[in-house]
Structure 1
Amino acid sequence: MLYEGTLRSIVDFYIDSLDYNGIPVSQILRTSDTSEILNQLSSLILDGLVTLTFSTVFLNPHIKAFPDLEPQEQIKKLMSESLDGICAYPTAKCLKEFKKASKYRGKPYSRRLFLGEPQFEPVYFDLTILEKYLNDPRYVVQNDDYSGSIHSMDEYDKELGEGFFLDTFGLAYNNQHERFVIVYLRYLNDLTPDQQKYWKLFETKEDCYQNIDYLKNTLGHWADNVSIFIAFIEELYVINKMCELIGKPSLFKEDFKRNRPKDFGVFLRPTLNNYNNFVHVLDKMMSDNINKDFFKNDILLTEEIKRKDGKIETRQRGTISLLEEWITNNFRPRDPEPTKQLFSTLRKVRKERQKPAHAVEKDNFDKRYHIMQNELIEESYTAVRTIRLILANHPKVQGYSVPDWLYKGQIRLY
């Protein structure tokens, strides 16, 4: 084969590397004349045997992070860019000719990576893949709205036969915006043969797309958007800051900025129990969290109720009723609809929370619980945002600035 020496050096370097790394072109140059090597590489690219990565495309060219550029584009960049930032890789066609892929037959994802698929090639799975780990206390599943990780607890590794560690997974979606699990090839590669075979059983044939914020976060970049759950907590925090500026007690007893509740987030398993747990926490963060001291000296905190026997009983008023009267007395909006919706949402959440308290319900798995959660958190976020916008009209709050992302509404339901 023409240029076999150059091709052999590229293949050997790749096979001997720890992370499917490409050989720097500057290293190949040590064996021959620069123009000759460039011509050889150009021919190998056109023959479909070699592909190049560039630091101008992805900062680290030593791994193949993303799909290959078109051959002519690779050759153009090879001839015009610094060779120190270019690495060469054998293609799948080349590796098959060298018969080097057989050792990965029992590891489907490692084999795909070895044969040249990008390290950040997304693989999509049905959500039920997580059932095994969520239902087994020997595993810890970390969930951060649109990303997470899974690992087995050290004390159970011997019992399990092997440890398990998945550094990161994310949420992906189909065209109906139903949630799926996404894992990049480089992280599936870390699983054992048996673990890779198990995960492969749950691959979906659905046409899915990845969450771009998850990709950015995985690559070490700041995401453009903030989770609606984080935004909700930020609204509570800002509202209490505004109360402080006005000279009143905090409207909310707690802002949860440092101790976000466990069930306040996207639940990975769409079950009735998870939905009920979410509603319970949401109501505790809203109606149950309203501080009655905020209303002192402004409105009555109690009401007199006439009993059937004719006697008058003094009762504590509910927090929703107090907030509704205070806002009605102090705020005259041009459009009353947002404030009406605010109290409608507070009562809706309270009613949803009371449902499981009055009936024994059997747990079940149904994707509609994701839809129900989505609708409820969107309505609830709008409710607390409305409270913040109402307080923003107070003269003593005029100079207070909320975070830029909150002001611009860079908020997303993942």
Structure 2
Amino acid sequence: MKKETVLNEIIKYYIKSHDFNGLPVYNMKSYDYNILCELIDEGLIEVLSEKEVINPHIKGFDFTIPVDRQKENISKDTNYSVLYPTRKALESVPLDYTKPYSVLMQKGEKQFKIIYFNIEILERYVNNPKFVIMDNGYRGNICVKDEYIDDKTIEDEYIKNYGMAYIDGKHLERAVGVFVCDLAKLSSQKQMLWKGFELTNQRKCKINAGFVDNLIKGKWVMETWIFHDLLEEIKVINEQCEHMGIPKLFNKTFGTHYSEMPEGFRNILLPTLKNYYDFVLVFEKIIVHNISYKTFQKDTLHIQGIDRKDELGKDKGSLVMLEEWLGKNIRTQENITDLIIKPLKTIRNIRQKPAHELTSNQYDVTLYQKQFDLMNDTYTAIRAIRLFFANHPLTKDVKVPEHLVSGKGIVNY
């Protein structure tokens, strides 16, 4: 049997397989142990087995496996070992340069190599109602809505996983990272589209640690996203209100599944003034506009209600009532105005500007930090309300998730 025959079978299987898979030794048509050993010695093939990796059918990383062990792993054609052509062996393979990420795989790139992109690429999907973005802060995925699955212009555009990444620099600046194996599955047109957003200095980018832990190391991510935790705090506060015998503080609650979260309640992608104001508009509706004045009007155990009207007979605003009610019913050394009221007033004040003024859109990378700080301050305020309510004797049976109790591992990605 010729060496070329054996090598070509391995190369052909790798190139033609759906996910650039290796050829299992037990599936070889031209198995020849001596020839395979020669190919290993010449640096033309390499062997992965279940002894080295969980799934040897994909080459997720570059490995340095001793030659003797590789040979031992293919000593029988019944062994659970998988053969891959090396970069050297793939040098002569014809390449389709209309698919730049498929080309990387055709050249032998490791499947879990992360390519970094300008986060603007995600705007294409967020602003297109044909797509669903499942965003969990540190990672997400992009898929086509069921009703548009046959749309030929979309070409089954699907990103199984993207990770939140960061660009080294003076300011917080986000990027997005995607495995090359996922990019290689896109059509030629869509690969070229993504290529246009690829960042030139890949070394300045770093993927979020949760993305690596979850998808590469196979670990559970124990941290929780502050966006999810804020919605959970609201639910707990409403349950506390029920136990105290007063109307719920928030008119509406939201789940943390992507389909239950308010649209636009996520980290802003492109740092533009429009995106920032759009986020604050949603944020204000979730927090400030969502506060019920009915909560403050009922007397119950250890709680005194307040009047809805002011001295002039006008209705008080929800934040005015909240501040007055907290001051009347909460005994604390904390400055309630600074801790709770000011962050909520900040949301409303920011919201007022685009509502009452004509504004010009601007690109400003510092908006990432402004949203980051606004989210942190607001979460601290809402959490403080929940902690104050926890001191009421009727709320002792309200179950609070452990991570909210400890306050540890709550992350603003």
TM-score, normalised via structure 1 length:
0.83
Structure 2 counterpart of 1:320: 319
Give yes or no for the alignment of 1:300 onto 2:294. no
Corresponding residue number in structure 1 for 2:13? 13
Pair 1:185 & 2:165 matched: no
Kindly state the Cα deviation for residue 407 of structure 1 after the two structures are TM-superposed.
3.3
Residues 122 and 184 of structure 1 are in contact (CA less than 8 Å); yes or no, is this contact kept in structure 2? yes
The equivalent residue for 1:310 is: none
More helix by share: 1
Counterpart secondary structure, 2:164: strand
Deviation at 1:75, TM superposition (A): 4.8
- The alpha-carbon distance between structure 1 residues 29 and 275, as it changes in their structure 2 partners (threshold 3 A), is same
Amino acid at match of 2:292: N
The equivalent position to 1:67 in structure 2, one of 51, 57, 61, is 61
Conserved 8 A contact 2:47-2:70? no
* Contact 1:50–1:88 under 8 Å retained in 2: yes
Gaps of 5+ in 2: none
Q: Is the 8 A contact 1:232 1:381 kept in 2?
A: yes
Asked if the contact 2:49/2:73 (under 8 Å) is kept, the reply is: no
Conserved in 2, the CA contact under 8 Å of 1:302 and 1:316?
yes
| Shift in alpha-carbon separation, 1:134–1:238, aligned structure 2, 3 A | closer
Q: Is the 8 A contact 1:147 1:214 kept in 2?
A: no
**1:325-364 pair list within 5 angstroms:** 325-334=324-333, 336-337=334-335, 340-364=338-362
Alpha-carbon distance in structure 1 between the residues aligned to 2:398 and 2:80:
47
Aligned residues: 393
Alignment partner, residue 386 of structure 1: 384
Q: What code does the residue aligned with 2:265 have?
A: F
Counterpart Cα distance in 2 of 1:213 and 1:57: 24
Task: Tell me which amino acid in the other structure corresponds to 1:390.
Answer: F
The CA deviation at 1:115 is 1.7
Task: State the Cα deviation string for residues 166-213 of structure 1 (Å, max 9, x = none).
Answer: 324332111244111222111211223233233223211331111233
Alignment of 1:367 with 2:365, yes or no, is: yes
Per-residue CA shift, 1:351-391, capped at 9, x if unaligned? 11111222110222322222211111111111111111111
Pick one of 137, 141, 157 that aligns with 1:148: 141
Partner secondary structure for residue 365 of structure 1: coil
- Work out the CA distance in 1 between the residues paired with 2:30 and 2:44: 21
Matched, 1:129 2:129: no
Secondary structure of the 1:120 match is coil
2:99 partner amino acid: K
Equivalent residue letter for 1:111: V
TM-score (norm 2): 0.83
Partner SS, residue 181 of structure 1: strand
Shift of 1:303: 4.1
The C-alpha deviation readout for 1:57-90, integer Å capped at 9, x for no partner, is 54322111x2122133x75477489975431201
Identity fraction in percent: 33
Amino acid paired to 1:69: F
Letter aligned with residue 142 of structure 1:
I
Q: State how far apart, in whole Å, the 2-side matches of 1:133 and 1:181 are.
A: 13
SS of equivalent to 2:345: helix
Assess if the C-alpha contact under 8 Å between 1:45 and 1:71 holds in 2: no
Taking a change above 3 Å as real, the CA distance of residues 70 and 218 of structure 1, as seen in their structure-2 partners, is closer
Determine the structure 2 residue equivalent to 1:173: 166
Q: Which amino acid aligns with 2:141?
A: G
In the alignment, what sits opposite 2:236? 238
SS where residue 214 of structure 1 aligns? Answer: helix
Query: Match for residue 396 of structure 1?
Result: 394
* 2:244 equivalent to 1:249: no
- In the alignment, the residues of structure 1 paired with residue 327 and residue 310 of structure 2 have an alpha-carbon distance, to the nearest angstrom, of 21
SS at match of 1:355: helix
- Structure 2 match to 1:210: 207
1:323 to 1:131, Cα distance in 2 relative to 1, 3 A: closer
1: CA distance, partners of 2:30 / 2:330: 77
Task: Please state whether the residue corresponding to 1:383 is helix, strand or coil.
Answer: helix
2:47 is the counterpart of 1:52:
yes
**Is the 2:24–2:80 contact (alpha carbons within 8 Å) kept by the matching residues of 1?**
yes
Q: Does the 8 Å contact 1:78/1:86 carry over to 2? A: no
- In the aligned structure 1, how far is the partner of 2:229 from the partner of 2:342? 21
- Distance, in Å, in 2 between the alignment partners of 1:59 and 1:365 is 45
Matched residues in 2 for 1:57 and 1:397: separation? Answer: 53
Closer, same or farther in 2 for the Cα pair 1:407/1:59, shift >3 Å?
farther
Cα shift at 1:221: 6.4
Q: Residue 263 in 1 paired to residue 272 in 2?
A: no
Kept in 2: contact 1:171–1:182 (CA 8 A): yes
Deviates further, 246-255 or 192-201 = 192-201
| 2:362 alignment partner, SS class | coil
Distance in 1 (alpha carbons) for counterparts of 2:133 and 2:57 = 30
C-alpha change, 1:20 and 1:250, in structure 2 (3 Å) is: same
Gap change, CA 1:27 and 1:338, over 3 Å in 2: farther
Do the aligned residues in 2 keep the contact of 1:126 with 1:181 (CA within 8 Å)? yes
Distance (whole Å) between structure 1 residues aligned to residue 347 and residue 80 of structure 2:
56
In structure 2, distance between residues paired with 1:4 and 1:265: 54
Flag the 1:344–1:7 CA change in 2: closer, same or farther, 3 A. Answer: same
Q: 2:375 aligns to what SS in structure 1?
A: helix
AA of the residue aligned to 2:305: I
Unaligned runs of 5+ in 1: 306-312
Would the aligned equivalents of 1:108 and 1:197 in 2 still touch at CA under 8 Å? yes
